[in-house]
A and B are shown apart, each in its own frame.
Chain A
């Protein structure tokens, strides 16, 4: 592959070709507007499908063969089971048995439970992964061992890539907690209930072939049909598709760290003092411990002030459900469900609404929810003095996290990053981030235990909080304080010249490159 390197609009060096396809360098926020028609799946004919609606086949291997699996195809999966997924590994085990090679795996995210995929990369079944890589898979990629380039997309960016034809899914395999033989499916019930299946929506609509895998078969009709059977080719029934205790993951523990609680409290106080917390407002908080604590502090402040939100965006969990049930919000617009209370609420409460990356985040939609949210609270591994932020690599250059919905959420009216100013000895506020995942112009506030920095562009927020008792300081001042504590200037980590992955912006352009880590 002979790819040129160019400097993009945010000053980062990026390749012009990714995995054999032309790539557009980042041009600026909202600048890149492709034209033409959206992609479409092949024309199907209902006469080719069983009239009795029974699409069940024996097993995954049979389904893959019937779907016409071939060398070099793209196979997609979703990550609603998080670290409790039992299906992805079986797909590629079956592919190995069939004897196909060089597949591209296109998960909406990967997790440590999928570490066996590394073996399938080594034995040639998988050529490369395009999708968020968490843990061991990210590590493998970081070491430069993956054959193609890793492509990191946001949840919205994944929808965009499918819809504008950048990624063509040959076979979508959708693990579904409940399904009928026709392929109607949802995540609301069954032993592997995960709430919703929004991350698999694009896959069901645009893939050439769609396979539903379930461990909870119900007679037709399976309602509500979050995934519509009319898109589905085959249904596979197996004993167990997920490990419930890992689906309902541990990321929903509130932090016990006093410092993080302080940061969460300061964040909630900021939302209040800046006048964002008012009747009919909306917010979104991620799944991390600090974000959860933020939601709890904000809830108390809302109660004290008698204020009610119109909607809250999930990642839902028991705390958001409590807000809904106590009447502190009219709706939860939910993109993924993090605990059993979230699953129950989505099943029972009409105010708990199932959303997808299409409704919330898609660049090719005629608008989306992300920009309508009054405040969003997100994590980051690093933020620089220009407010550019990183979520995928650590300061040592290692690729360890996916983007998730993070980039999409930056379009909120007020993007707040509550982060510790340093971890162990490693500064989180730096001169220049290792990898740009979010341009500074979209990041409004950084809350650390040592003070709150407001992006100078947001003079409105600066004015709104000028009488607040919060410690509002410039980002450079906070950085100077950390630098003094840390005691010596961090060295530049040793990175190779080899690009091992790229970070896409929400519009499909290349925002930054990730380099191989040297040992």
Chain B
């Protein structure tokens, strides 16, 4: 029997994906049998892409079955490459879609990380429009949302998505697998303009440094030297104990977050709505993060239908000291962003600082002062962000300098 490999998914319910089965032969050229839901409009270009891919990997004799359910070219490319890899015929080659211009912006350490939306890394259909919902960050997940047998497929899908999918200004994040399995994910991610890597089930500073070392070597190989930031996730008793060690393990750590499903299981209990069981760990994460100068970010709120509960939970997180929260549904984003919006008292303070800063700038002064107090540059930066956030969320009118009032 011929050795065959398949990749992707097929069936009536599948959307924006495709399925391919390659059976290499000794002779006979490429026997391509393809059909597509969008064949009337894209049949020829799809067939050409599949043939180009086989050609790229030097496969000249094979029978190929291909079923398309409206997959975009980068998805077709990832599925084809996955099947080729499963046949061990890739010879270490990567079939990369071009990097679209919209994928090449940068991030900053200081940016807001109020909302971050998790997207299953092996599902293209959720990725295409996710950025339109304006999360601060979008996470392509290689860990829990991907079945163990599809980890290789997801690596290619995420890699191609990083090169092709417009995140519409959201921070570009990937959650890798737990260390050390997760180290293998990095080569599909690090060279493709990822901004933040989430390190799950992190239990030591050493794990963070392993990521650091691996990334450094990967970027060096490709002659790249951009900064990649980390957001380790505390998900165990040990992780919680070592929170500060983790948060301060590398200058690239930008935020520390917590995953409560795994954490509560690890301490031998269950997650409750009230959350008494995780109060200590959450507070520990806030304190460790603040002590290390990184952002403390809360866990996800998993009831996607309960918007009032979500709002309450954001208020509570904010009161504990968190700067952000995770989400698993796009409709949660707006609620989270709004609920993290600055309060009146914060806005008032920020306005004074920004006005003083602008005044000092216009006079060419290097030092900003408010009354008799000197203001440090990071405080100014923070105040500018507060104003931006207030403007973003409609808490402040664009003409606030002219005495425009902000809304409660």
Q: How many residues of A contact B (CB 8 A)?
A: 23
- Asked if A258 contacts B331 (CB within 8 A), the reply is yes
Q: How many residues of B contact A (CB 8 A)?
A: 26
Q: A252-277 toward B: CB 8 Å interface, digit per residue (1/0)?
A: 00000011011000000000000000
Which 3 A-B residue pairings sit nearest by Cβ, starting from the closest? A424-B70, A396-B40, A258-B330
Chain B residues in 8 Å Cβ range of A493: 40-41
- Asked if B72 contacts A486 (CB within 8 A), the reply is yes
Partner of A262 from the list B132, B166, B394 (CB cut-off 8 Å) is: B132
Partner of B133 from the list A258, A485, A490 (CB cut-off 8 Å) is: A258
Known interface pairs A261-B331, A449-B129; 12 further A-B residue pairs with C-beta atoms within 8 A, sorted by A's residue number:
A258-B331, A424-B37, A424-B38, A424-B69, A425-B72, A426-B70, A485-B128, A487-B45, A490-B41, A490-B42, A491-B42, A494-B40
A/B interface sample: 27 pairs, CB < 8 A: A258-B133, A258-B329, A258-B330, A259-B129, A259-B132, A261-B331, A395-B40, A396-B41, A397-B40, A424-B37, A424-B70, A425-B16, A425-B41, A425-B70, A426-B70, A449-B132, A450-B132, A469-B394, A487-B73, A488-B42, A488-B73, A490-B42, A491-B41, A491-B45, A493-B40, A493-B41, A494-B40
Complex Cα spacing A487 to B100, Å: 11
- Asked if A424 contacts B73 (CB within 8 A), the reply is no
Q: A487-500 toward B: CB 8 Å interface, digit per residue (1/0)?
A: 11011011000000
Q: A151-186 toward B: CB 8 Å interface, digit per residue (1/0)?
A: 000000000000000000000000000000000000
Complex Cα spacing A423 to B15, Å: 10
Chain B residues in 8 Å Cβ range of A425: 16, 38, 41-42, 70-72
Who on chain A is nearest to B132 by CB?
A: A449
Please tell me if B44 contacts chain A, counting CB pairs below 8 Å: yes
Please tell me if A48 contacts chain B, counting CB pairs below 8 Å: no
Q: B241-266 toward A: CB 8 Å interface, digit per residue (1/0)?
A: 00000000000000000000000000
B131 nearest CB across to chain A (Å): 10
Chain A residues in 8 Å Cβ range of B129: 258-259, 449
Chain A residues in 8 Å Cβ range of B40: 395-397, 491, 493-494
Please tell me if B275 contacts chain A, counting CB pairs below 8 Å: no
Who on chain A is nearest to B130 by CB?
A: A258
A107 nearest CB across to chain B (Å): 28
Q: A373-412 toward B: CB 8 Å interface, digit per residue (1/0)?
A: 0000000000000000000000111000000000000000
Who on chain A is nearest to B74 by CB?
A: A487
* Most chain B C-beta atoms within 10 Å of own C-beta, residue among A258, A259, A261, A486: A258
Complex Cα spacing A494 to B329, Å: 40
Please tell me if B377 contacts chain A, counting CB pairs below 8 Å: no
Which residues of chain B from 96 to 138 have a CB within 8 Å of any chain A CB? 100, 128-129, 132-133
B51 nearest CB across to chain A (Å): 14
Chain A residues in 8 Å Cβ range of B16: 424-425
Which residues of chain A from 479 to 519 have a CB within 8 Å of any chain B CB? 484-488, 490-491, 493-494
Q: A409-441 toward B: CB 8 Å interface, digit per residue (1/0)?
A: 000000000000001111000000000000000
Chain A residues in 8 Å Cβ range of B44: 491
Which residues of chain B from 1 to 51 have a CB within 8 Å of any chain A CB? 15-16, 37-38, 40-45
Complex Cα spacing A140 to B395, Å: 57
B402 nearest CB across to chain A (Å): 16
Chain B residues in 8 Å Cβ range of A396: 40-41
A93 nearest CB across to chain B (Å): 32
Q: B302-345 toward A: CB 8 Å interface, digit per residue (1/0)?
A: 00000000000000000000000000011100000000000000
Who on chain B is nearest to A420 by CB?
A: B129
Given the known interface contacts A262-B330, A487-B72, the answer about A426 and B133 at a Cβ–Cβ threshold of 8 Å is no
Chain A residues in 8 Å Cβ range of B74: 487
Complex Cα spacing A261 to B166, Å: 20
* Most chain B C-beta atoms within 10 Å of own C-beta, residue among A426, A469, A487, A490: A487
Complex Cα spacing A493 to B71, Å: 18
* Most chain A C-beta atoms within 10 Å of own C-beta, residue among B41, B73, B133, B394: B41
Complex Cα spacing A424 to B45, Å: 16
Which residues of chain B from 49 to 66 have a CB within 8 Å of any chain A CB? none
Chain A residues in 8 Å Cβ range of B73: 487-488
Complex Cα spacing A397 to B41, Å: 10
Chain B residues in 8 Å Cβ range of A259: 129, 132, 330
- Asked if B72 contacts A485 (CB within 8 A), the reply is yes
Complex Cα spacing A312 to B102, Å: 42
A518 nearest CB across to chain B (Å): 9
A141 nearest CB across to chain B (Å): 17
Complex Cα spacing A449 to B330, Å: 13
- Asked if B38 contacts A426 (CB within 8 A), the reply is yes
Chain B residues in 8 Å Cβ range of A397: 40
Complex Cα spacing A485 to B128, Å: 9
A133 nearest CB across to chain B (Å): 19
B76 nearest CB across to chain A (Å): 9
A85 nearest CB across to chain B (Å): 26
Complex Cα spacing A494 to B39, Å: 11
Chain A residues in 8 Å Cβ range of B45: 487-488, 491
Given the known interface contacts A424-B38, A425-B72, the answer about A491 and B133 at a Cβ–Cβ threshold of 8 Å is no
B5 nearest CB across to chain A (Å): 25
Complex Cα spacing A469 to B41, Å: 35
Chain A residues in 8 Å Cβ range of B331: 258, 261
A433 nearest CB across to chain B (Å): 14
- Asked if B69 contacts A491 (CB within 8 A), the reply is no
Who on chain A is nearest to B76 by CB?
A: A487
Chain B residues in 8 Å Cβ range of A423: 70
Complex Cα spacing A423 to B70, Å: 8
B397 nearest CB across to chain A (Å): 11
Q: A115-128 toward B: CB 8 Å interface, digit per residue (1/0)?
A: 00000000000000
* Most chain A C-beta atoms within 10 Å of own C-beta, residue among B40, B330, B331: B40
Chain A residues in 8 Å Cβ range of B43: 491
Chain A residues in 8 Å Cβ range of B330: 258-259, 262
Complex Cα spacing A442 to B133, Å: 30
B83 nearest CB across to chain A (Å): 20
Complex Cα spacing A493 to B44, Å: 11
Chain B residues in 8 Å Cβ range of A485: 72, 128, 166
Chain A residues in 8 Å Cβ range of B71: 425
* Most chain A C-beta atoms within 10 Å of own C-beta, residue among B44, B74, B132: B132
A503 nearest CB across to chain B (Å): 20
A22 nearest CB across to chain B (Å): 34
